Amino acid sequence: CARKGYFLAQPTHATHQWVQACEEAVRAGDDERAAAHLERIEQEVEQEESTLTAAFNLFVPAGADSLTSREVQTMLEYLGFPAGAGDVERLLRAVDRDGDGTISLREFCLYVGRMGGSHELFKVRRERIRNKMGASDEGA
């Protein structure tokens, strides 16, 4: 995701707790505990970047390196979010930092990091699927 650890400073991201614990251990002079926390941070960063890259690549057409409004709409539908034209445009404006009208992998990673990370993104999807299944089960 372009810049390793881009989300570590985001208090909303689950990995941030490990950063704080590592900083506290360093301040306390506990090198062993700091090293253990740092190892955990490195594992979490690697996993997060792998997960987000794989998720992004599900929607990017072969040979492309960014999501157009069409792919953003497909992604939103997959995640269970509203995906009308207005929703797509709002998301593009919120995420597209370089103003090219698309979402790059880096922009996607930054946005998901601000949301709380891949775990939170997929948690929302799981909840929406569960709600849909519950609603259809009730009607049966």
Q: How far apart are CA 61 and CA 66, in angstroms?
A: 8
pLDDT at 34: 94
Residue that wins the pLDDT comparison between 32 and 44: 32
* Res 1 pLDDT > 50: no
* Res 126 pLDDT > 90: no
Give pLDDT tens digits for 65-92: 999 999 999 988 887 776 788 888 988 9
- Full set of structural domains in the chain with CATH: 16-139 (1.10.238.10)
Both tokens of 139, joined, read 């009607």
pTM of the model: 0.74
Mean pLDDT of the chain: 84
End-to-end alpha-carbon separation of the chain, Å?
44
Residue with tokens 């699927």: 129
Residue 58, amino acid: L
Q: Count the neighbouring beta carbons within 10 Å of the beta carbon of residue 124.
A: 14
